[in-house]
Structure 1
Amino acid sequence: MALWTWGANSHGQLGVGIANEQIEKPTKVEVHLYHCKINQIACGGGHTLLLDNEGKLYACGWNSKLQLARETEVHKLERTWPLSGVTFTNIVCGWDFSCGVTDDQFLIVWGSNSYGQLGVPTTPKEYFSEIMKPIRLPINAVLVSMGLRHTAIVNSKGEVWTTGCGRHGQLGLGNSVLSSDRFQKVEGVGKISHIACGQNHTVAWCSEERALYVWGDNKHGQLLLCSEKYKKIYTPNKIDIDVKQEVKKLLSGWTNVILWLEDGSLLAWGRNNNGQLGTDKLSHQEHSHISSFQVKGREVKDVAVGSEHTICLATDNTLWAWGWNEHFNTAIDLGHQIVKPTLVPLEIDKNQKITQIYAGGAQNFVVIEE
Structure 2
Amino acid sequence: MSHLQLYAAGSNARGQLATRDCEDAHTFTPCSFGDLTTEIQPLHVNSLVQIACGANHTLALLKRSTDGTTELWGCGDGSKGQLGTLPSSSSTTEFRLLSLKHPFPGYSIKSVACGWETSYLVLAKPQEDDVVVSFGSNDFGALGPSQTTEIAIGRVNHVQLPLPPSVINTKPYKLTVDSLSASVHHVIVTANIFQDNQARTVVYGWGACRTGQLGTLLKSGRSISFSPNPVIVYEAPLSGQIASSAVGTQHTVLLDSASKIFSFGSNRKQQLTGVEALKNVTHIGCTWNGTYVAVLDGGQWSILATGDNNKGQLGSPQSPDASLALPRAVHFPFTTQSHSLIKFACGSEHILCLFTLKDSAQPKSEVWGWGWNEHGNLGLGHTADVNVPMRIWSSSGDSTQPDGVNIWAGCGTSWISCLS
Which category of TM-score, normalised to the shorter sequence, fits these structures? 0.7 to 0.9
From 231, 247, 257, the equivalent of 1:184 is 231
Partner of 1:119: 144
From 73, 78, 90, the equivalent of 2:91 is 73
Residue ranges of structure 1 left out of the alignment (5+ in a row):
226-238
Note the C-alpha offset of 1:132: 5.6
Residues 228-285 of structure 1, C-alpha deviations (whole Å, 9 max, x = no match): xxxxxxxxxxx64241x251x2111100111123443211111111011111234247
From 132, 137, 142, the equivalent of 1:107 is 132
Provide the rounded CA distance (Å) in 1 between the counterparts of 2:310 and 2:236. 31
Partner of 2:361: none
Farther off after superposition, 102-111 or 89-98: 102-111
Residue 224 of structure 1 aligns with an amino acid whose one-letter code is: T
Residue 114 of structure 1 aligns with an amino acid whose one-letter code is: D
Residue 153 of structure 1 aligns with an amino acid whose one-letter code is: V
Residue 17 of structure 2 aligns with an amino acid whose one-letter code is: L
Compared CA separation, residues 288 and 115, structure 1 to 2 (3 A):
farther
Note the C-alpha offset of 1:145: 0.7
In 1, are the aligned partners of 2:20 and 2:94 still within 8 Å (CA)? yes
Provide the rounded CA distance (Å) in 2 between the counterparts of 1:285 and 1:351. 37
Partner of 1:142: 178
Partner of 2:57: 47
Note the C-alpha offset of 1:334: 5.7
Partner of 2:111: 90
1:280 is the counterpart of 2:317 = yes
Provide the rounded CA distance (Å) in 2 between the counterparts of 1:286 and 1:144. 35
- Aligned residue pair count: 350
In 2, are the aligned partners of 1:195 and 1:203 still within 8 Å (CA)? yes
From 342, 345, 357, the equivalent of 1:304 is 345
1:326 is the counterpart of 2:374 = yes
Provide the rounded CA distance (Å) in 2 between the counterparts of 1:286 and 1:108. 44
Provide the rounded CA distance (Å) in 1 between the counterparts of 2:324 and 2:372. 17
Partner of 1:36: 45
Farther off after superposition, 279-288 or 181-190: 279-288
1:166-245 equivalence runs, <5 A:
166-176=209-219, 177-178=223-224, 179-187=226-234, 191-208=241-258, 210-224=259-273, 240-243=276-279, 245=280
Residue 12 of structure 2 aligns with an amino acid whose one-letter code is: N
Note the C-alpha offset of 1:295: 3.1
TM-score, length-scaled by structure 2 = 0.77
1:290 is the counterpart of 2:290 = no
Provide the rounded CA distance (Å) in 1 between the counterparts of 2:345 and 2:183. 15
Provide the rounded CA distance (Å) in 2 between the counterparts of 1:216 and 1:132. 31
Residue 47 of structure 1 aligns with an amino acid whose one-letter code is: H
Farther off after superposition, 359-368 or 23-32: 23-32
Determine helix, strand or coil for the equivalent of 1:102: strand
Provide the rounded CA distance (Å) in 2 between the counterparts of 1:290 and 1:354. 29
Q: Percent identity?
A: 25
In 1, are the aligned partners of 2:394 and 2:401 still within 8 Å (CA)? no
Determine helix, strand or coil for the equivalent of 1:318: strand
Aligned residues: CA RMSD: 2.5
In 2, are the aligned partners of 1:57 and 1:83 still within 8 Å (CA)? no
TM-score, length-scaled by structure 1 = 0.87
Residue 102 of structure 1 aligns with an amino acid whose one-letter code is: L
Residues 331-369 of structure 1, C-alpha deviations (whole Å, 9 max, x = no match): 124652100000115678569321111111111111111
In 2, are the aligned partners of 1:202 and 1:215 still within 8 Å (CA)? yes
Residue 193 of structure 1 aligns with an amino acid whose one-letter code is: A
Determine helix, strand or coil for the equivalent of 1:315: strand
Residue ranges of structure 2 left out of the alignment (5+ in a row):
64-68, 162-174, 193-199, 358-364
Compared CA separation, residues 305 and 163, structure 1 to 2 (3 A):
same
Provide the rounded CA distance (Å) in 1 between the counterparts of 2:17 and 2:395. 19
Partner of 1:235: none
Residues 143-172 of structure 1, C-alpha deviations (whole Å, 9 max, x = no match): 111111111111113211111111111111
Provide the rounded CA distance (Å) in 1 between the counterparts of 2:310 and 2:271. 13
Provide the rounded CA distance (Å) in 2 between the counterparts of 1:280 and 1:65. 41
Provide the rounded CA distance (Å) in 2 between the counterparts of 1:49 and 1:293. 30
From 249, 272, 287, the equivalent of 1:253 is 287
| Greater C-alpha radius of gyration | 2
1:260-271 equivalence runs, <5 A:
260-262=294-296, 263-271=300-308
Compared CA separation, residues 116 and 344, structure 1 to 2 (3 A):
same
From 402, 405, 409, the equivalent of 1:352 is 402
